[in-house]
Amino acid sequence: MATDDRAAILSAAIDTIPTLSVVVNRVMEITANPDSSTQELMEAISVDPVLTAKVLKIANSAFYSRAGQIATLKQALVTIGFKEVRNLVLSSSVFNNFSRISRVPGFDARLFWRHSFVTGLACRMIARDMGLAGGEMFVAGLIHDIGKLVIVMALPAEFIKMMKMTGNFGQEHIVAEKHLLGLTHEEVGLRLLKRWSFPQPLQYAVGFHHHPASAAIQPAQALAVHLADLLAHISDHPPAIDGANSLPEGCFSAETASLARAYNIEWNPEAVKRHVEKLEDLKTTQSSVLDEFLT
């Protein structure tokens, strides 16, 4: 199959993935309007009992350091805020839309979501140092590889082959995607999030997380996801932190280091070790939260 044919299949797959529910779209509309009321958002979510239950479940989890203190949507909105409830709705909807991905032979969906979740935790951590909204950046980290899910669903054999050839990370993998598929998972993710009308900062954070300097809009968000992705991969392979030469490809590239400095992020082997130690602590305290999203 030619590269152009694979690109056409991916483009078609993006268009056939179910759009977000009316409830989710309404939630995004309400939370984007500064004049919206708590009552409006509460009414929009409450028509979906399953979504309501999930929002309450996660709002009471270790993710917000709470234990059964929030009993109603109104309490959730008052306690954790409009934007955080919106972030929970967006995150839950993504998990729901790709629930059948676990049935693709050769693809470990649990491992994929675990890396995505850890990247989200790292992104929330880095975002705070950059003065960005931690909740929104958690979502960006959580869905940063959403384009890979589209590729797995549309071209599973090709994706598994690339994984065996290049691994799951790094410039070599991106080059292979472009060469074999005509589109990278960044490009596929950006197209999908545009189709879903996700907030623009999330679109570009996902669409340029391997090339944050190229993001025409809000490169800080893309940089946060880029650094978080690196930290998550290092955390998955702890021995790699022993020295700069054994860290993931591009970890200390001139572009990454320059961008990090521009946003007052210390980014060198010693700083990365400290970031990873903090991330390990977060993984311990948040270990049960991924199950809350998945169930």
Please check whether residue 27 is in contact with residue 41, taking contact to mean a CB–CB distance below 8 angstroms. Answer: yes
Query: For 255, which DSSP code?
Result: H
Q: Which residue spans within 159-207 are E strands per DSSP?
A: none
Please check whether residue 101 is in contact with residue 109, taking contact to mean a CB–CB distance below 8 angstroms. Answer: yes
Prediction pTM value: 0.92
In a domain, 217, yes or no: yes
pLDDT tens-digit readout, 219-233: 999 999 999 999 998
In a domain, 275, yes or no: yes
Give dist(CA 29, CA 17) in Å, integer: 21
In a domain, 86, yes or no: no
In a domain, 92, yes or no: no
Q: Can you give the CATH number for the domain in which 168 is found?
A: 1.10.3210.10
pLDDT of 245: 45
Domains contained in the chain, number: 1
Q: Can you give the residue range of the structural domain that contains 229?
A: 3-20+104-294
In a domain, 70, yes or no: no
Encoding tokens for residue 180?
Answer: 């074999």
In a domain, 64, yes or no: no
pLDDT tens-digit readout, 45-98: 999 999 999 999 998 888 887 666 888 998 988 888 888 999 999 999 998 888
In a domain, 142, yes or no: yes
In a domain, 161, yes or no: yes
